[in-house]
Amino acid sequence: MAMSRLPTGQEKHRAVREMFDKIAPRYDLMNRLITLGLDQRWRRDALGRVGVGPGDRVIDLACGTGDLSEQAAARGARVMGIDFAGEMLRGARARGIDAAFVRADGAALPLADGCASVVTCGFALRNFVSLPEIFAELARVLDRGGRIALIEVDRPRSGIVRGAHSLYFDRLVPLLGGLLSDRQAYRYLPESTAYLPTAEELHAMLAKAGFGSIEKKGLMLGAAQILTAVKT
């Protein structure tokens, strides 16, 4: 997948799916290295912020190899992990997590209206073709009062921190990815932040989809973020 220009529409859908199938074997290792081992703490934080526990019905959207699904299940929730990359799901199933894993498109979930109390999504917003469609679908499958917890990368606002982050994220991460996994895929990671709307735009999209109590928590000096909201 050449990244001289970022793909859009159905080209993006195909390219991203192929990329995640390709990097699935080293995906967990790369997540730990890129985040300096903090990604699992961020997942715990996200689940805690929306109070996931026994009795919850959790959809883990773009579940990858199942990190969030595993943590949600450990809290006593009933979990369904959904992803469109078959190799990612293969990795999730191999972990023996107490969850169901289904291959599906996040914009057209094969689920009934109001079937879930929580939707989680880890580091995948920039990979969807249309965020308004995704947010509308999340609102559809959630009960009234249902919660969402979305973890995503971000760009620090401070000039000094932003420069240091760019050196690491834009230069060192692709180099590390090339050594341990796939160079093109880990060139895409920093480039794909161009897909992310601003905080204000994300807030407006969520509100339009029917969410309130929208909050953003910055992580790692602004290098990542947790978004939480409640279906009104």
The 10s digit of each residue's pLDDT in 61-70 is 999 999 999 9
**What pLDDT is stored for residue 131 in this prediction?**
97
Q: Is a pLDDT exceeding 60 seen at residue 8?
A: yes
**What pLDDT is stored for residue 6 in this prediction?**
85
DSSP 160: H
Burial of 218 (0-12, 13-18, 19+ CB in 10 A): middle
Ranking 28-37, 90-99, 159-168, 216-225 by mean pLDDT, the lowest is: 159-168
Query: How large is the average pLDDT for residues 82-108?
Result: 97
Q: For the whole model, what pTM was predicted?
A: 0.92
Provide the pairing of β-strand 142-153 with 224-231.
antiparallel
Burial 25-59 (b: 16+ CB within 10 A, else e): eebbebbebbbeebbbebbeebbeebebeeebbbb
**What pLDDT is stored for residue 189 in this prediction?**
86
Query: How large is the average pLDDT for residues 33-59?
Result: 96
Query: How large is the average pLDDT for residues 109-118?
Result: 98
Q: Is 120 left (phi over 0), alpha (psi -120 to 50) or beta?
A: beta
Ranking 1-10, 138-147, 168-177 by mean pLDDT, the lowest is: 1-10
Confidence of residue 2 (pLDDT cuts 50, 70, 90): very low
Q: Integer distance in angstroms from the first to the last C-alpha of the chain?
A: 40
Neighbours of 86 (CB within 10 A): 13
**What pLDDT is stored for residue 1 in this prediction?**
40
Confidence of residue 5 (pLDDT cuts 50, 70, 90): low
Q: Which 3 state secondary structure label does DSSP give 192?
A: helix
Contact 99, 66 (CB under 8 A): yes
Question: Mean of the per-residue pLDDT values for the chain?
Answer: 94
Ranking 8-17, 86-95, 155-164, 206-215 by mean pLDDT, the lowest is: 155-164
**What pLDDT is stored for residue 224 in this prediction?**
95
Confidence of residue 229 (pLDDT cuts 50, 70, 90): very high
CA distance 16 to 63: 14
Q: What domains lie within the chain, and their CATH numbers?
A: 9-231 (3.40.50.150)
**What residue type is assigned to position 104 of the chain?**
A
CA distance 60 to 78: 11
Q: Which 3 state secondary structure label does DSSP give 79?
A: strand
Q: Is a pLDDT exceeding 60 seen at residue 87?
A: yes
Ranking 101-110, 132-141, 168-177 by mean pLDDT, the lowest is: 168-177
Query: How large is the average pLDDT for residues 206-226?
Result: 96
